[in-house]
């Protein structure tokens, strides 16, 4: 699973752990994904600084705002709104520099 679940996706809230079906802890799952996104964002920022890509200084405030957004979402994991999940999915795609 490489992205945050949206509300439109079928909600299969269990996973198989033979011989049982165990409920998924949505809060823990979202918290983990947000931490992965934050690491991605920090790697991207370091890559931009190392490569000295021109005109990226303009994005510095935007990057900080987005990172602050992920910190706020991390505190509210498990209770995120549809718009917040969509924004996190968008950021997940944006900060894939590999």
Query: Residue 25 pLDDT more than 70?
Result: yes
pTM (2 d.p.): 0.70
pLDDT confidence tier of residue 94, bands split at 50, 70 and 90: confident
30-34, 57-61, 63-67, 91-95 — which is least confidently predicted? 57-61
pLDDT confidence tier of residue 84, bands split at 50, 70 and 90: very high
Q: Domain residue spans in the chain?
A: 26-94
Higher pLDDT, residue 54 or 90: 90
List of residues 6+ apart from 83 with CB closer than 8 A: none
Across 19-42, average pLDDT: 87
Distance CA 74, CA 28 (A): 10
List of residues 6+ apart from 52 with CB closer than 8 A: none
């Amino acid at each position: 699973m490489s992205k945050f679940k949206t509300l439109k996706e079928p909600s299969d809230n269990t996973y198989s752990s033979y011989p049982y079906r165990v409920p998924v802890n949505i809060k823990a799952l979202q918290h983990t994904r947000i931490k992965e996104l934050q690491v991605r964002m920090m790697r991207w920022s370091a890559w931009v600084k190392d490569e000295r890509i021109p005109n990226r200084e303009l994005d510095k405030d935007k990057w900080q705002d987005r990172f602050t957004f992920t910190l706020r979402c991390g505190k509210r994991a498990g209770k995120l709104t549809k718009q917040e999940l969509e924004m996190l999915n968008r950021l997940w795609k944006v900060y894939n520099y590999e």
